[in-house]
């Protein structure tokens, strides 16, 4: 058994996924996570490992630095209404502070300018908290399934990143060339720069392409296909939300859960097929898109052919 204690927010964001991976590698070892912000007594013998964020005080225990964190002083826009915008660290003395009581001296901040000169400012906390909640996961999904989707991932999902989907094309071959990827990357960068001018020029760290699967009536395939085989597919461009929901519903069906969200998906009609040729592929300079079709906006971004 491996017994680990850690702060609540860090444990949820980082250690929980790591514990799952540890169990996969060492199935015979049970993991116990105690996630709380109080400092526990490791010498009591109840814990094998403690993960703590902050500055190490004098201790006879062995420790190892495994990472670092940054502190930011931020302000709500509403708070500054009617106030002069601080131009110097000394101007912060009169700004109300919500302090993190877990820090050694939460009311004292040291600022260093470009020349390396340090200036220490002490503020008066009007409230305090014992933890700094980790940044939440969030996602924005458009009403148009073919529109831009934006979501944030945390360390447990691969790092502090914002993932954006903003380009789609109809490609019957189901293959993407390097030139097509480069073109899509340029389109995505242009859309990003136009939408967020304050971040214009920020480069995407990674780019990739995938497939979208559509049904004509926008219905997912979430049901028991044959005894013991359950599906959660055909998300119609809404995988961030609908993929999660259909996955939960499929798991509920497999486990025999009678309530939950599974009955809602089971009551939906069967998905209908996309139009066949020639509506599904045009010709000439349309790049393979239908010249005239009420479903052109849907087909332009979808996977070709009927669902199976």
Total tally of structural domains belonging to the chain: 4
What is the average pLDDT value for the chain, to the nearest integer?
76
Is 209 a domain residue?
Answer: no
Is 60 a domain residue?
Answer: no
Residues 81, 25, single domain; the answer is: no
Residue with the bigger pLDDT between 222 and 290: it is: 222
Residues 142, 121, single domain; the answer is: no
Judge whether residue 293 has pLDDT over 50.
Answer: no
Is 304 a domain residue?
Answer: no
Is 160 a domain residue?
Answer: yes
End-to-end CA distance of the chain: 46
pLDDT band at 206 (very low <50, low <70, confident <90, very high): confident
Largest CA distance in the chain: 77
The residues near 264 (Cβ < 8 Å, ≥ 6 apart) are 249
Describe the strand order of the beta sheet including 49-50 as a list of residue ranges.
Answer: 31-35, 2-6, 49-50
Q: What is the DSSP letter of 270?
A: P
Give the per-residue pLDDT at 305. 30
Residues 295, 228, single domain; the answer is: yes
Give the per-residue pLDDT at 308. 27
Residues 194, 238, single domain; the answer is: no
Residue with the bigger pLDDT between 3 and 142: it is: 3
The Cα 255–Cα 274 span in angstroms is: 32
Is 185 a domain residue?
Answer: yes
Give the per-residue pLDDT at 142. 66
Judge whether residue 284 has pLDDT over 60.
Answer: no
In this predicted structure, which of 23-27, 254-258, 302-306 has the lowest mean pLDDT?
302-306
pLDDT band at 57 (very low <50, low <70, confident <90, very high): low
CATH number of the domain encompassing residue 8:
3.40.190.10
Judge whether residue 294 has pLDDT over 50.
Answer: no
Predicted confidence (pLDDT) per residue in 144-166, tens digit = 667 777 777 766 566 677 788 77
Residue with the bigger pLDDT between 44 and 277: it is: 44
Residues forming a β-bridge with 80: none
Distance (Å) of CA 233 to CA 50, 210, 227: 41, 14, 17
Give the per-residue pLDDT at 300. 28
Calculate mean pLDDT across residues 212-229: 88
Residues 247, 276, single domain; the answer is: yes
Residue whose C-alpha is closest to residue 109's, from 99, 9, 79: 99
Calculate mean pLDDT across residues 16-25: 85
pLDDT band at 301 (very low <50, low <70, confident <90, very high): very low
pLDDT band at 296 (very low <50, low <70, confident <90, very high): very low
The Cα 167–Cα 146 span in angstroms is: 9
Burial class (CB in 10 A: 0-12, 13-18, 19+), 242: buried
For residue 26, what are the domain limits?
2-50
Give the per-residue pLDDT at 278. 56
Give 41-50's long-range contacts (Cβ < 8 A, gap of 24+).
42/5, 46/3, 47/3, 47/4, 47/5, 48/2, 48/3, 48/4, 49/2, 49/3, 49/4, 49/5, 50/4, 50/5, 50/6
Residues 229, 294, single domain; the answer is: yes
Is 67 a domain residue?
Answer: no
Predicted confidence (pLDDT) per residue in 232-251, tens digit = 988 887 776 788 889 888 98
Residues 234, 287, single domain; the answer is: yes
Residues forming a β-bridge with 122: 108
Residue with the bigger pLDDT between 102 and 295: it is: 102
Is 206 a domain residue?
Answer: no
Give the per-residue pLDDT at 287. 37
Judge whether residue 118 has pLDDT over 70.
Answer: yes
Judge whether residue 285 has pLDDT over 60.
Answer: no
Judge whether residue 134 has pLDDT over 60.
Answer: no
Distance (Å) of CA 66 to CA 52, 53, 61, 69, 139: 10, 10, 16, 11, 30
Is 267 a domain residue?
Answer: yes
CB 221 within 8 A of CB 271: yes
Judge whether residue 303 has pLDDT over 80.
Answer: no
Residues 228, 291, single domain; the answer is: yes
Burial class (CB in 10 A: 0-12, 13-18, 19+), 261: middle
Predicted confidence (pLDDT) per residue in 170-205, tens digit = 777 778 888 888 888 888 888 888 877 888 888 888
Give the per-residue pLDDT at 229. 92
Tokens 């359950």 belong to residue? 230
One-character DSSP codes across 126-187: EEEES--PPPPPEEE--SSTTS-EEEEE-GGGTSSEEEEE------TT----HHHHHHHHHH
Residues 103, 156, single domain; the answer is: no
């Amino acid at each position: 058994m491996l017994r680990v204690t850690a702060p609540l927010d860090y444990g949820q964001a980082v250690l929980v996924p790591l514990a799952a991976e540890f169990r996969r590698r060492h199935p015979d070892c049970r993991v116990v996570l105690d996630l709380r912000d109080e400092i526990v007594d490791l010498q009591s013998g109840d814990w094998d490992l403690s993960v703590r964020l902050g500055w190490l005080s004098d201790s006879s225990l062995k420790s190892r630095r495994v990472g670092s964190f940054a502190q930011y002083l931020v302000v709500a826009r509403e708070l500054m209404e009617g106030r002069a915008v601080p131009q110097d660290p000394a101007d912060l003395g009169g700004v109300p502070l919500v302090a993190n009581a877990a820090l050694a001296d939460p009311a004292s901040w040291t600022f260093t300018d470009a020349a390396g000169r340090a200036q220490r400012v002490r503020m008066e906390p009007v409230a305090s908290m014992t933890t700094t909640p980790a940044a939440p996961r969030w996602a924005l999904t458009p009403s148009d399934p073919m529109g831009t989707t934006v979501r944030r991932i945390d360390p447990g999902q691969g790092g502090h990143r914002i993932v954006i989907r903003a380009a789609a094309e109809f490609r019957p071959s189901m293959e993407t060339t390097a030139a097509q990827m480069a073109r899509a990357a340029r389109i995505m960068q242009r859309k990003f720069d136009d939408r967020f001018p304050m971040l214009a020029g920020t480069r995407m760290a990674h780019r990739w392409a995938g497939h979208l699967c559509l049904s004509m009536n926008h219905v997912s395939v979430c049901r028991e296909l044959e005894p013991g085989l359950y599906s959660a597919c055909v998300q119609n461009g809404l995988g961030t939300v609908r993929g999660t929901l259909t996955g939960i519903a499929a798991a509920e069906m497999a486990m025999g859960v009678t309530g939950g969200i599974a009955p809602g998906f089971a009551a939906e009609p069967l998905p209908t097929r996309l139009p066949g040729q020639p509506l599904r592929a045009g010709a000439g300079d349309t790049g393979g898109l239908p010249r005239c079709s009420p479903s052109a906006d849907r087909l332009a971004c979808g996977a070709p052919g009927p669902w199976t």
